Amino acid sequence: MDEFMKIAIEEARIGLAEGGIPIGSVLVKDGRVVSRGHNKRVQEDNPILHGEMDCLNNAGRIGSYRDTVIYSTLMPCFMCAGTIVQFKIPKVIVGESKTFNGAREFMESHGVEVIDLALPECIKMMEDFINEKPQLWNEDIMEL
């Protein structure tokens, strides 16, 4: 597993330890971490603070995102995918899409390269969370 996905998983674990949803993200440019973040929707009572959104918010203004890669432990939802497309981030590397298939086709239809690593560690983390807190998960994905 590459170092950037390890950081995204670390971010997901931080979110889980804070009582939130275990989804982490990392933005990489020129082989270095620009920012990192995790889902803080529960912790900050903010419905749009998904892992990718927190990561991009933490990046601040970096000018162009055209030469970046964003990592996420879970396939981005349509909100996060829309931001990825809007910012013209060319590549997304995800830990898994088994527990949530997200917006892969949407991103690909806008020229974003999507790589799904199908990592057992990411799948297990989300399956465990969904089994332990189904109400919170369904709230996060608007399935209530």
Which residues are identified as catalytic?
A: 52
Instruction: Yes or no: say if 140 and 21 are a contact pair by the CB < 8 Å rule.
Output: yes
Phi, then psi, of 99 in degrees rounded to 5: -85, -20
- DSSP letter for each residue of 73-124: SS---HHHHHHHHHTT--EEEES--SS--TTHHHHHHTT-EEEE---HHHHH
The residue among 94, 72, 81 whose CA lies nearest residue 27 is: 72
Instruction: Yes or no: say if 13 and 37 are a contact pair by the CB < 8 Å rule.
Output: no
